[in-house]
Amino acid sequence: MFRRFVILFSVLIGLVALAAAPIRADDASLVLKRLATDNYGEIEAGVAALAASGLPVSEAVLTALADSRLSYRPSDKALFIKDTSGGWIDAATNAAPAEAPSGLKSVKLNNRVRRALEAALGSMTLMSPDPMKRIAAAEAVFKSRDANTLAPLDVVIGKEADPVVKRYFEEARAAVLLLKTDAPETDRVRAAERLGERGDQDSLALLGSVTEANATANIVSAAKLAAKGIESRLALLSTAQNAWYGLSLGSVLLLAAIGLAITFGVMGIINMAHGEMVMLGAYTTFVVQEIIRTKVPSLFDWSLPIAIPLAFCVSGLVGLLIERVIIRHLYGRPLETLLATWGVSLVLQQAVRSVFGANNREVGAPSYMAGVWDLGGFQITYGRLWIIVFSLVVFFALLGVMKGTSLGLRMRAVIQNRRMAAAMGIRTPVVDALTFALGSGVAGIAGVALSQIDNVSPNLGQSYIIDSFLVVVFGGVGNLWGTLLGALSLGLANKFLEPVAGAVLGKIILLAVIILFIQRRPRGLFALKGRAVDS
Q: Distance (Å, rounded) from C-alpha 474 to C-alpha 486?
A: 6
As measured in angstroms, the least distance from the Cβ of 272 to other proteins is 8
Question: Any contact of residue 436 with other proteins (CB under 8 A)?
Answer: no
CB of 393 or CB of 466, closer to other proteins: 466
Residues 6+ apart with CB under 8 A from 240: 378
CB of 72 or CB of 264, closer to other proteins: 264
Question: Any contact of residue 520 with other proteins (CB under 8 A)?
Answer: yes
412-422 in b/e form (b: 16+ CB < 10 A) is bbbbebbeebe
Binding mask 165-204 for other proteins (x = CB under 8 A): ----------------------------------------
Question: Any contact of residue 514 with other proteins (CB under 8 A)?
Answer: yes
Contact 284, 448 (CB under 8 A): yes
Q: Distance (Å, rounded) from C-alpha 32 to C-alpha 91?
A: 8
Q: Distance (Å, rounded) from C-alpha 333 to C-alpha 268?
A: 10
Q: From the list 2, 504, 530, 531, which residue makes contact with other proteins (rule: CB under 8 A)?
A: 504
Question: Any contact of residue 497 with other proteins (CB under 8 A)?
Answer: no
Q: With CB under 8 A, what is the number of residues at the site for other proteins? A: 46
Residues 6+ apart with CB under 8 A from 373: 379, 380, 381, 382, 385
Binding mask 246-285 for other proteins (x = CB under 8 A): ----------------------xxx---------------
Q: From the list 235, 355, 430, 515, which residue makes contact with other proteins (rule: CB under 8 A)?
A: 515
Assign residue 99 a region (left: φ > 0; alpha: ψ between -120 and 50; beta: otherwise): beta
As measured in angstroms, the least distance from the Cβ of 476 to other proteins is 11
CB of 251 or CB of 468, closer to other proteins: 468
Q: From the list 179, 407, 507, 528, which residue makes contact with other proteins (rule: CB under 8 A)?
A: 507
As measured in angstroms, the least distance from the Cβ of 529 to other proteins is 16
| Alpha helices for 127-216 (secondary structure H) | 131-144, 150-159, 163-178, 185-198, 201-208
Question: Any contact of residue 346 with other proteins (CB under 8 A)?
Answer: yes
Q: What three-state secondary structure class fits 524?
A: coil
- Binding residues among 455-484 for other proteins as defined by CB under 8 A: 462, 466, 469-470, 473
Helices vs. strands in the chain: H and E counts, helices first: 21, 6
Per this entry, what is the length of the chain? Answer: 535
Residues 6+ apart with CB under 8 A from 429: 328
As measured in angstroms, the least distance from the Cβ of 525 to other proteins is 14
Burial class (CB in 10 A: 0-12, 13-18, 19+), 520: exposed
- Binding residues among 317-336 for other proteins as defined by CB under 8 A: 326, 329-330, 333-336
Question: Any contact of residue 340 with other proteins (CB under 8 A)?
Answer: yes
Interface residues with other proteins (CB under 8 A) are 268-270, 326, 329-330, 333-340, 342-351, 353-354, 462, 466, 469-470, 473, 504-505, 507-508, 511-512, 514-516, 518-520, 522-523, 534
